Each structure stands twice: as C-alpha cells, then as structure tokens.
Chains A and B, each alone.
Chain A
C-alpha cells in the first residue's frame, strides 16, 4: 500500500469531492482506489480557469519549441543570419520604412509584428526565440532549485541536531544574499575571463544567469520541506519504517517524499513564473542578459520606443504578462486541487 493513503484516509477524500450523493458500497470501493494525484487532476480538469490557463501555457511552450520551424516557414529572421533585411529597410533615424509595416506603414503579412527599429530584425521571430530562451531559463532554474531545495529540506528536517542547524544556517545565509548585487558582480568577472572567446562568452552569460537565479531561488522550498518533514518524521508509518530498520535514504525518498509531492507541485507552479519575471526584470534593468535574445532583453531594447513605435514594446510586454498570469493562475488552481483543506 502506498504511504500516501495513510495520511489521507479515504473517508476524508470522499468529503472533498463535489457534492457526492450517498453511494453504493461497490462504487465506494472504486473511489478508494484513486490516488491523490489522480483526484487532484480530476479536480483540475473540472476547473475552467485551470484548463484555459493550461492551454495558454502549453500553447506558448509549443510556439517556443517550434520557433525554428515557424520562422523557417514564414521566412523571418531573428538575428544577423543569411536572408534578414539589411539597413536599407530602415529610414535615416532607424525606423522601419513604411513598406515593412508599423509604425510608418500598415500591416505587412511578411512581418506580422513588424520589424525592429535600428536592426531590421523581424519582431515575431525575435519574440519566438525570446520566449524559447526565457522559458528554457525558467525551467532549468526551477529544476535546479527544486533539486537543491528538496535535498536540503529533507536532510535538514530529518537529521535533527547539528546537521539541521548547519543546513538551516546555510538557508538563512542564502536568503540574506542580495540577488541583484550578485548579478552585477558576476558579470565583469565573466567578461574578463572569456574576453576573447565571443561564442563561449555568450553561453556563459546565460549559464551564469541560471546559476544566479537558481542558487538564490531554492531556499523557500527548502524551508517548507524541512517544516513538513519535521512533522512527518514523528508519524507512525515513519517510526514503523525506522523500527523495521529501513535505510534512511529509503525512508526519505520512499516514505516521506510522496507525502511532500503536493507541496512541491504547488511551489514549482509558482516558481516558473517567478523565474520568468526575474529574468525579465534583471535583463530589462540591464544586468541580466545583454547579448542573448530573451524576453527581458527584448523589452530592454524596446522601452525607448514606447511613444513612436508602441507595438515594438507592447508585443513582448503582453507576452510576458499573459505567460506569467497564466502560469500563476494555473498555480493557484493546482494548489486548490492538491490542498485538501481548500474548498471552492
């Protein structure tokens, strides 16, 4: 039997379902067989907001993944590669010539969102690749943060004594670390270390941003997990496992982890949008990505054009807003679905 069912007796679950009429004994048996994940998932499916948000998020992920395909099909280009428009597509102040779309001309089917001033790159192509990079960074950061946070939280919560104190101190230490200062300090180091190797420097810049964001993003999860483990480890099934001589690793990952799954899913669902927003904020402040093409970097380069070429700025801003709101609302629904104590 799974450990989870011990914490969530079937009687509780039945109460939580949508007004369930009194049921026959046979049907009752069937419900007992559903796992909590399954139950949560069913609740999610019934939540209209969750479904819409999930569609938006999945759609954006698909768009991002298919960026090379889409740009290839539309023959649009995100950077200085073969086939992009040259400086002749721009007028003497760097605004797009009317035939290439806004702000001086009308809609142009070849360039659905227009072309960028100054560089003449296609805005849609840039946006798709920007989404791709920002989502990639957010997902990688989330995975790293979850791994670190989970391990530290489990070990700290379970270990009692000095190890717990040391790990808690480490968590506090990282919590007090100023993120922006770290990001600012790291950049010149990378620049001077990789000064002569342009290709590597660009990649290292992305990796360093991932490191900055994820090393400073795991502490919340670690604290949460530690707290839960503190209470879980006194529960009978854990004590029983210990008495039976089960190895610690097995207790941690086979007995406790499944009970923490709900918390983890909830935290992750909020972490992803938070990381997207952090990347955008750092890059838009000019201390995140500069060379690479991310949503934040796009907004940074377009903010001067808010008056004369609004589409250039509002398209990426709208994408970030929709993406973050959808992810946050989805996270809300996930929490509602997983938390047996909330009710709609």
Chain B
C-alpha cells in the first residue's frame, strides 16, 4: 500500500529520514515501540455480526476532516485506490467490500471481519479457489440490491493496469494471479478466474496458491460496481461513485473537497465494523499543516468537530503536549522506509554495507522534522514490526541502529576498492527548503564516508517519474512501503522479486514496478514461490526467515525507519484512534459529542 498521497510519499521517502530514541534530555518520546507490536492486526473474527454499537455514543453532527494540499488527490475510482487515505475513506465510509477491518477497543488493534460476505471466505485445500457468499439485505444508494455479478464486474474492471495505473490488483494479474487475468496491460474481459455462480456467490480461481485472499478482500477493488452502470465504462467514474456503504457522495472536487451524506439504504444490521454515527463528513484537503495545528490548538467553533490525519508539525508538538495532550493521538503504521541501491549498478555488497554506516540517520531525520521514536523509529529489517513471523534481528549486527560511522564506511569502501564511489540519487526541492537541507546533510555525510555524492535534482512534479525511470544515471533511490495486510506476502513478492519480463540488467517494459532496488536473484524468486505454496500456518515463520536470509546474504536495502503517526482532533470528536493497518484515523467509529 502506498502513503496517503504521492507527494507525502515523496517527501517522506524522498527525504529519507527519521528514527528513534530521542537523545534528548527533555521529556522522552512517547513509547510507541511497544504499540508497534500491534501493527496491522493479526486477529480475525469470521462470526462478527452487526450492528456495531458504541457505548455512550450519540449519533448526528458533522465531522470536518482537514488535511494539507496533496492529500486525497489520487482519485476515488475503487479499481485504482491504492493510497492509504483514499482506501481508508472509501472502505470506512462509502464502499463495502468482501471483508473489512474492525477496531478492537481492548487491544487497539484491527480485527478482520466480514463485510458484504457472510464469512471470511472459504478456500479449497491448496488455496487456489476461494468462495464468498454475500449477505441478504445489502443495497446500493439507490436501493437496488447488490449481486455477486457486480463484484465480478468490479474485479475484472480493475485488472486493466494500463488504465488503473496504481494497480492495486497487482496480486491478481500475472502468472500467479487469477486464471486468465493477463499481465495487466489491457482489460481481459470476462475471465474464468472470477465467476459469479449465482446472485449470492462469487468464486475466485488462482493459478497459484493465494492464502491471503480474506485479507485482500477489504480492498476497494472488491467492492461492487453495478455491472449495468454506464458511468463505470467511462473515465471519471470516481465522480459518479455508487455508494454501498453508510455514506454517499454529495459533493466531490478531486484533491480539494469531499462531502459525504447518509446513504439511507445502508443497513446497520448487516455491518459488523461500521458505527457510522455522524450525519455528514466534510473533507477539506486544501489546508496546510501550520494552519491545521493552529486551528486545532485553539479549539474554537467548528474546530471542535474537526480532526486531521496529517501528522502534526514537530514545531507544534510541545504545544499539543502541553495544552491538548488528550486530543493528541499517536500510533504506529506498518511502514518501512528504506534506501534502495540499484542492484544492477551497486553490485558489491560491501558498498551497500558502507552506505548503511554512512547514512546520517539522526541528522537527516531531525532536519526533516521527525519526532524521533514517534513518527520515525530506526528500522532493523525489511518487515515492519507487527507482521506475523517477523524475526527480531539486526540486518548488520555490528551496526548499532541509527548511528553513523564514517570511518567504518570508509574502511568498507577501501576493502571493496571503491573509494570515491559515486552516489547519484534523486531528490526534489520543496517550497519549504526542508528537502534542500536534508540533501545538504546527506551530501556532507556521504562525502565524509568516502563517497562522491551527486544529488540529482527534480521538481515535486517530476520526482516520481525520475525515480521510476530505470535508464537515468541514478544508482540510489529512497522509497517506503506499507503492508497491504499483515503478511510477508505483501512485501517480498512485489518489492524484491524479478519482474516477469525481467532480462538481466534490462528491466524490460515494466520498469521497476515497486522493486526500486532492481533486486533480482533467482534463488529468492524460487523461495518466494515455495513459501506461497506452503501450508498457511507455516508461512509467517517462513517470511520472517526469508527477511533475514535476504538481508544477510544480499542486503538489497538499507532499512531507514518504521513509521508512526501523530494526529490531533477537536474536543467534541470522540473515537479518534489510529487504524494500525494504514496509519489513518478510525473513521468507522468516530462520533461527535452532542
């Protein structure tokens, strides 16, 4: 899963920063590391039933959600929803999928429960065939009933990754995907891999075992789109979205404003995860963080029923801690941010190790405005905390996390015979000048470690194109990744395997995909395929071991930090917690005090 917005993704990943353990003498960082163990729920509850009631909660009122420009800008089309903020807003409020996440107040974790489906799906023995049965009494916003054929249509619609460029359907296409799904380059039409056998039953058939289907089922791409809706066949369906969840779209201006009002045809008794208490939601995505912080701190008028899912600014953190500690919500995100040295160009493992010693973790993270230990925690491996099967180890045992050791880096470079090795990485200049300062810090640190730093300047608009262009003279990229669901299966296959038309150093037509390290080892590919075919119960452990094997043998990444988020809300907003599956607020259970 991707960050909230393309731009946030860029700045967070592009700046490469952040980490843990305040070396500070002032009040220490909030203890988020223990919470990290909860990241992305592992629990499931196939028997959960609606309606969801919250003790003492009152219905009604309007919730305003403010966020800085650039958020919620990636479009609402469910077939293309792959950024965490769009996914959260859609699955929590507007759309219903096969399954969904439900907030567990006792643990603060998310539990996988059924949504449109009566249970969490039934798989055959080798997990190549999944059957979901739909509930009775489920309707669209116009009152027409939801049928299984609509979900078949929606899934087939999403397989065209030439149209749905973010390609959330990536697990469904290619050699291991649905039968007949093709490679994503065009719409495959009616395929055998997804079939509505009657009005209430939908069957998925995979070419290779896919044990995580129940988790994947919460994605908006599995939410029904009326098969006979002419708008869905044209571009711009996102503006005419047909709601199946508790709210429908009243007003939508992409990247600026989204107003949601009640969908009268949503039946609470069919929904175990959504409380849906407020009458109206207003998303305003045109603000900036300084304004948002000032408004929430003042807590006057409408600000009392306002919340934000942007991290508050580090500059305002002391003020929130002092004046509004009870309105501050901290929580983890299943994120690993990492440096991806180009495996085709930085071929010597010693040079990659030198990079791990050279990187100015603390300086760069602080310059980027991180709250160490809260929004950034030094990462020690590929998988973020909370993914089942994660092994506790440090990818470089001699390297203390978060420390920089230019002398050691120099020595490693000398061993590799690569003194003065040229590092070219893309970065972009932002209006605030922060990225420039981080860039200066990186240049200085790499220089001290014996590299020859060559930053490659981009603009905010061109940065992501430059980063994903495999032919530019760039050999170091920064990136970040969220778990799509709590499993190693959402990490290694998309991020660290060869692409299907990968030919040695030539990446073919697909480019990096999400594999910014251009990492391609046949042994790893084979191991990934083997794990996917293993019994479900063994998989978490195997993924965890694979993490260690990959890092110790190849070290394709320099993990930088695991993420956390610090959000704030007005005094009349209740139920604002962090949804650990994506670092967003628990929109499903938020209510307004009357």
**Which residues does A use to contact B, with CB under 8 Å?**
79-80, 86-88, 90-95, 97-98, 104, 117-119, 187-188, 191-192, 194-196, 198, 201, 285-287, 290-291, 297, 300-301, 303-305, 307-309
Contact = CB atoms under 8 A, between A and B. Distances in A.
A309 B28 contact: no
Interface string B427-460: 0011111101101110110000000001111110
Contacts of B316: 304, 307-308
Contacts of A303: 290
13 contacts: A80-B443, A86-B362, A88-B23, A90-B24, A91-B22, A91-B24, A92-B21, A93-B372, A95-B26, A192-B458, A291-B429, A303-B290, A308-B316
A119 B437 contact: yes
Nearest to B297: A307
Contacts of B461: 188
Given A80-B441, A94-B367, A286-B431, 16 more contacts: A92-B26, A92-B371, A117-B315, A118-B437, A192-B462, A195-B456, A196-B424, A196-B454, A198-B455, A198-B457, A201-B457, A285-B431, A286-B430, A290-B429, A291-B433, A303-B290
A251 to B, nearest CB: 49
Given A86-B363, A118-B437, A308-B319, A191 B431 contact: no
B373 interface: yes
B456 to A, nearest CB: 5
A91 B459 contact: no
Interface residues of B, number: 54
Contacts of B317: 93
A196 B453 CA distance: 10
A305 B317 CA distance: 11
B294 to A, nearest CB: 8
B29 A94 contact: no
Contacts of B440: 79-80, 291
Interface in B1-39: 21-26, 28-29
B363 A195 contact: no
A86 B454 CA distance: 22
B154 interface: no
A300 B314 contact: no
Given A118-B437, A290-B436, A97 B363 contact: no
Given A104-B26, A198-B454, A304 B315 contact: yes
B145 interface: no
A191 B315 contact: no
Nearest to A297: B433
A74 B432 CA distance: 29
A209 to B, nearest CB: 13
B315 A195 contact: no
B368 to A, nearest CB: 8
A297 B432 CA distance: 8
Contacts of B360: 87
A36 B451 CA distance: 63
- Chain B CB within 10 Å, residue with most, of A79, A104, A195, A309: A195
Nearest to A97: B25
Contacts of A308: 315-316, 318-319
B366 interface: yes
A191 B432 contact: no
Given A90-B24, A93-B22, A287 B454 contact: no
Given A86-B363, A188-B461, A198-B457, A91 B315 contact: no
Contact of A95 (B23, B297, B318, B424): B318
A198 B446 CA distance: 14
B189 interface: no
A93 B21 CA distance: 10
Contacts of A297: 433
B322 to A, nearest CB: 9
Given A80-B444, A196-B454, A198-B457, A91 B431 contact: no
- Chain B CB within 10 Å, residue with most, of A93, A94, A194: A93
B431 A287 contact: yes
Given A117-B315, A188-B461, A92 B28 contact: yes
B147 interface: no
Contacts of B374: 92
Given A191-B458, A196-B424, A286 B432 contact: yes
B458 A92 contact: no
A4 to B, nearest CB: 49
A297 B433 CA distance: 7
Contacts of B454: 196, 198
Contacts of B371: 92-93
Nearest to B474: A196
Contacts of B429: 187, 191, 290-291
Nearest to A291: B436
A309 B458 CA distance: 32
Given A93-B314, A188-B459, A118 B433 contact: no
A195 B466 CA distance: 11
Contacts of A191: 429, 457-459, 462
A93 B433 CA distance: 18
The 3 tightest CB contacts between A and B, nearest first, are A92-B22, A286-B431, A91-B24
A94 B374 CA distance: 13
Contacts of B297: 307
A118 B457 contact: no
A67 to B, nearest CB: 19
- Chain A CB within 10 Å, residue with most, of B29, B316, B461: B316
Contacts of A91: 22-26
A261 to B, nearest CB: 41
- Chain B CB within 10 Å, residue with most, of A90, A187, A300: A90
B166 interface: no
Nearest to A91: B24
B313 interface: yes
A98 B26 contact: yes
- Chain B CB within 10 Å, residue with most, of A88, A118, A201: A118
B236 interface: no
B22 to A, nearest CB: 2
Contacts of B434: 118, 301
B366 A118 contact: yes
B370 interface: yes
A87 B404 CA distance: 11
Nearest to A80: B444
A286 B314 CA distance: 20
Given A191-B458, A198-B455, A93 B441 contact: no
B369 A118 contact: yes
Contacts of B24: 90-93, 97
Contacts of A86: 362-363
Contact of A87 (B26, B363, B455, B462): B363
Contacts of A201: 457
A200 to B, nearest CB: 10
Contact of A192 (B25, B362, B369, B459): B459
B293 to A, nearest CB: 8
